[in-house]
Structure 1
Amino acid sequence: MSFTKAALYTANPTTTRGVSTKLSATKEKIVYTNGKAVFIRDISNPGLGVAYTGHVQNTTVARASPTGYYVASADVTGTVRVWDTVGEDQSLKGEYKVISGRINDLEWDGESKRIIAVGDGREKFGHAFMFDTGTSTGEIIGHSKAINAVAIRHQRPFRAATAADDNLIVFHQGAPYKYDKTIKTHTKFVQDLRYAASGDHFASVGSDGKIFLYDGKTGDTLGDFAEGHKGTAYGVSWSLDGKHISTASADATVKLWDVETKKATTVYTLGSGVDYQQVGIVWSAPDTIVSVATSGDLNVFDRRTGDKPAKILLGPQRSVTAATTVDLETFFVGTADGRILSYDAGGDSSYLEGRGHSNLVAALAASPEGKIFSVGYDDRVRELDGKSFTPAEFSTSAQPKGLAVASDGTVLVGEGSVTEAVRANQKVAELKAKSPVSAIAATGSLVAIGSEDTKVRLYDWDGKAFKEVATLDGNKGTVSALAFSPDGTKLAAGDSSGKVVLYDAKEYKSITSRWSFHSARVNTLSWTADSKHCASGALDTHVYVWSVDKPMKNIAIKNAVSGGVNAVFWLKQGGGKGRLVGTGADASVRVWEVTFHA
């Protein structure tokens, strides 16, 4: 057995209300951060994502070098990591602790040799250094508050400009970089500034909604764009030819400006409300602009057509906590912020419409008829029709721990010390457990309930009541995941010690207890359609594919999901191969092509 990487669907950027989100671009791809990960997303092909997970703290900004061979990324502790984009291993080229606090922005010079990183440090707010050695290349001084942005002129003589919360822009000569002068154009926080590719000009935007243009060599102010924005302007980016700029604002608009006339040529209005505030922007191709909203949505604009986004790139913004598939092609994922997304066969995703969950999605389950049910930490069971939430809703009596659907369509919710049976949004039965419920699964009329006392209890459900038929006690920790094989003959039970025990669901006995390679809690289990292989995902970040016929044989997908695997499931299989999906803490969705027979 073996596996190959088939696709990676990236998370969307992490955003914070009132804070500028920095986007970078390299060719037809955009670079941004989410949690502890850095993602490179292909605008045209959603499956060609790249994830870098080398940071141990939350990342704040990432930018590709002008050559495109490297990415420099930074985190909240002031650490910058420079890594290789060529190849799959993203090998580390250097790691540097540059300031003593959060880094808000960084920039490469035109030779892809020097980097300036800026932010909110204790001793200093910025640092200039060589990417390969970390050697200092000057001083970044002149500010009294946290620096929000930095831009470097890519042509010699090098120049650099920094923008900060002290309402100032400081102009530096280089390299080595040294203070030249202070520019006092904005009356509020300066949020972003960028140089044109030609180096002739740079532009700045701020919380005063104003946009200013400057000479790239001298730093002299050349004027402002009179109309500006009605709200804070969080981002600015230049067209590749240097004739236009685009700006993103809290007034929920993206504006394209003619640099020569300093007037807006196109205004894109995205909506109203906090979720539609535009907090970052990048010009990724001659006619393509990408902005990010507070909601994390990435709006892709083609300046040649229309006054609306050409498309909107969606994805989880918080950890994926649950997932399921109905037709083995499309699938659904639930996230820690209560949202549920559907993915089609091509990897394009969309949010389910309607009133969803207000808190973490604890579980998703599909009925034999293809209906989908979700349960969240808002103590609600909801029904999905594939595109939206239906009005159907049921309130649980305690925080849910698991969800399953019996063959008659009854929804079974494990919560606290009870399991509730729900049909047509009404409770039809309740089973009081002998130990707090920790996992649940069902096949036909057989229901398995895992408990904190390490036991799995099997019940027969006749549509009206539960009847206990057996107790399985091969696990060594709290039973954290359960899954029946599609043919109903086997039950896999994972526990908090990392062990997966395979049981015979007909004779109520253990088949093997040798599936014990995980080193932390097993969060998820999924069977292939032929009931011959079972995949497990755990908090230890690993995924294993186990064989029923050869219990000692397995496929180990090490470090499959950074931060922990919360869900695995199988898509279509055939010809000795299957497509396995894994997702979890880093909010991305990975697909592997698994070969069962060599």
Structure 2
Amino acid sequence: MSVKAAKLYPCNPTTTRGASTKLSASKSKIVYTNGKTVIIRDLNDPAVVTAYAGHTQNATVARISPSGYYCASGDASGTVRVWDTVGEDNSLKGEYKVISGRINDLDWDGESKRIIAVGDGREKFGHAFMMDTGSSTGEIIGHSKVINAVAIRTQRPFRAATASDDTQIIFHQGAPYKFDKTIKTHTKFVQDVKYAPSGDYFVSVGSDAKIFIYDGKTGDTLGEFEGSGHKGSIMACSWSPDNKSIATSSLDCTVKLWDVESRKATTSWLVGSDINHQQVGNVWFAPDNIVSLSMTGDLNVFDPRVGEKPARIINGPTKAITAAVSTSLETFLTGTAEGRIIQFSAANGETSYVDGEGHTNLVTGLSSTPDGKVVSVGFDDKLREIEHRKFTPASSSLASQPKSVVTAADGTVFVAEVNAIEAIRSNQKIFELSVGYVPSSVSAHRSLVAIGGEDQKVHLYEWDGKTLKDLATLDGNKGNVTALAFSLDGVYLAAGDSSGKVILFNVDERKVLTSRWSFHSGKINSLSWTADSQHCASGSLDTHVYVWSVQKPLRNIAIKNAGPGGVNSVLWLESDGKAGKLVSAGADACARLWEITFHA
């Protein structure tokens, strides 16, 4: 028995409308946050991904030290965690409560010893401290409103600049850092400030759509970038490694490349035209690429040598993955809490959105049909159909909010709703069953349909093509039945409940085979059977995944902390009786591939 974490399919950054999202880079890796997770991913090698889930509050910014050995990440509570990036366990170096509110930005000095973190505090808006002890190394003062950004000169003599909603930039000398001067060049919120790699200059951008450049040692204003500028707030800027260019991202949906010497724009890329394409963050990563972040969370990768459009766009979920279904041995679809459906390639991790008019709210279920299509249901009370990675024009309105969906062998789609079961075929409702309990899950095998209810029972029906006939009620669960799955041969039915137990029933004999699958401590969200019907995987709110054996009920394979925040979906991509590949996905918006060897 063994479990190997084979692949991690990372989420994309979360964004907030009207706010700058901080991205950072270390060589070919970029760093960003989503919820409580910090993601470090290599854009040139999709297999190199780290997901750090040590924060108890939503992480807001993360940056790798110049040495490359540590990462500092801040969260919404004002806490900074410094952790090891080299080892697989990401061991914690230190945790420091630096301000009383949200941390908006932080930066390292060139020696990887000192950190300045800034944001929204009460008694102060920023703090300078040593990374190993947390002891103060100066004071960040002079601002009257929340600080949006900080930049530290990496060479001695150290300098630091902070940018704030009070329209001012404060220049600090260090270390220890102390107030030097106030710079009043902008007329609106200052969104970002960045030092050149050489330390000779730093630039600032703001909501007044202006860009200013300053002397890196003295803080003196050298001038403003002119000509063909942005028409909206500039949310982020970054320097090229050779110190000759800067890239800016704006709410006018454009990304511009500027020549520092002439202070003029040399290249402009228009990403789109609506709110979804507003650019809220960017970073320059090695060797010569710019990544700009769209409001939707898409990462647009630009090559400065190629104009007009991004060289590639990296899609991915930004909200919790709430449903998943396998479409082949190498691909699977996921539904998210924001209504998107995304296709993943298991081999290389490439992602792409399902095109067309989709859901406008949380996707509660996905199910594959006998003719190779996929149906989806969501909190917008719609059932939609997907074919060849596109939504078909056909859709059905549901009577009430759907909880779960499954497709029977004859192509009939059964939807468990708040107060009824609907049967839909060819986008037409052909039957509706009103029940005296609240349905919460559904599964089907051939003509059998099982409904899990909040009455802690499994209700078994037979489908004759026109109506559902009541066959039996299966007792054994100790909580609301939240997940159901027939084995592929139809012999077994696994029923997971809100207490964390999975009950295994023999379908023909209508009896409990085992109630020992009870190691979870939270609600069971998903169940999936292997092809030989001998092993069942369960994903739970307790963040764990277990693989259970029919022949050896007391033995299991545990994958602890498989999904921070809870596992919402598990599915087998392939299995041969001796080993298998299992996908889990959940609240952290990441999907993970596990290679599992079963008990001999």
TM-score normalised by L of structure 2: 0.98
Give distance in 2, aligned partners of 1:326 and 1:234: 39
Give distance in 2, aligned partners of 1:576 and 1:45: 30
Give distance in 2, aligned partners of 1:139 and 1:306: 43
The one of 517, 520, 529 equivalent to 2:519 is 517
2:267–2:307 CA contact under 8 A, matched in 1: no
Q: Deviations over 1:379-432 (max 9, x none)?
A: 101001131111111111111111010100000001122101001111111122
Q: Deviations over 1:171-227 (max 9, x none)?
A: 000000000001111111100011111101111100011111111001111111112
Aligned residues between the structures: 598
**Secondary structure of the equivalent of 1:342?**
strand
The one of 421, 426, 429 equivalent to 1:427 is 429
Give distance in 2, aligned partners of 1:146 and 1:502: 56
The one of 541, 544, 548 equivalent to 2:543 is 541
The one of 530, 533, 552 equivalent to 1:531 is 533
CA drift at 1:575: 7.2
Match of 1:280 in 2: 281
CA drift at 1:549: 1.2
Give distance in 2, aligned partners of 1:553 and 1:520: 20
1:287–1:304 CA contact under 8 A, matched in 2: no
Q: How does 1:180-195 map to 2 (within 5 A)?
A: 180-195=180-195
Give distance in 2, aligned partners of 1:348 and 1:286: 22
CA drift at 1:530: 1.3
2:517–2:553 CA contact under 8 A, matched in 1: yes
Are 2:377 and 1:348 equivalent residues in the alignment?
A: no
Match of 1:323 in 2: 324
**Secondary structure of the equivalent of 2:55?**
coil
Q: Which amino acid aligns with 2:363?
A: V
Q: Percent identity?
A: 67
Gaps of 5+ in 2: none
1:239–1:286 CA contact under 8 A, matched in 2: no
2:70–2:82 CA contact under 8 A, matched in 1: yes
CA drift at 1:7: 0.6
Match of 2:408 in 1: 406
Match of 2:397 in 1: 395
1:81–1:92 CA contact under 8 A, matched in 2: yes
Match of 2:146 in 1: 146
Are 2:132 and 1:132 equivalent residues in the alignment?
A: yes
1:482–1:525 CA contact under 8 A, matched in 2: yes
Q: Deviations over 1:15-36 (max 9, x none)?
A: 0011000001112111001111
CA drift at 1:116: 0.1
Give distance in 2, aligned partners of 1:393 and 1:335: 19
Match of 1:309 in 2: 310
Q: Deviations over 1:536-583 (max 9, x none)?
A: 000000000111111111111111101101000011234722111111
Structure 1 residue runs of 4+, over 6 Å off?
none
2:577–2:598 CA contact under 8 A, matched in 1: no
Q: Deviations over 1:134-182 (max 9, x none)?
A: 0000010111111000000000000000000011011000000000001
Match of 1:247 in 2: 248
Q: Which amino acid aligns with 2:150?
A: V
Give distance in 1, aligned partners of 2:289 and 2:336: 29
Q: Deviations over 1:36-57 (max 9, x none)?
A: 1111122123343211111111
**Secondary structure of the equivalent of 2:533?**
coil
Give distance in 2, aligned partners of 1:240 and 1:100: 35
Give distance in 1, aligned partners of 2:69 and 2:486: 46
**Secondary structure of the equivalent of 1:275?**
helix
Gaps of 5+ in 1: none
Give distance in 1, aligned partners of 2:585 and 2:89: 19
Match of 2:299 in 1: 298
Give distance in 2, aligned partners of 1:506 and 1:243: 74
Give distance in 2, aligned partners of 1:438 and 1:42: 40
Q: How does 1:452-531 map to 2 (within 5 A)?
A: 452-531=454-533
TM-score normalised by L of structure 1: 0.99
Q: How does 1:5-24 map to 2 (within 5 A)?
A: 5-24=5-24
Cα RMSD of the aligned pairs, angstroms, is 1.0
**Secondary structure of the equivalent of 2:551?**
coil
Match of 1:91 in 2: 91
**Secondary structure of the equivalent of 2:107?**
strand
1:209–1:233 CA contact under 8 A, matched in 2: yes
Q: How does 1:174-213 map to 2 (within 5 A)?
A: 174-213=174-213
Q: Deviations over 1:221-249 (max 9, x none)?
A: 11111123111000010011111111100
Q: Which moved further from structure 2: 134-143 or 364-373?
A: 364-373
Give distance in 1, aligned partners of 2:450 and 2:542: 25
1:128–1:140 CA contact under 8 A, matched in 2: yes
Match of 1:222 in 2: 222
**Secondary structure of the equivalent of 2:276?**
helix
Q: Which moved further from structure 2: 115-124 or 83-92?
A: 83-92
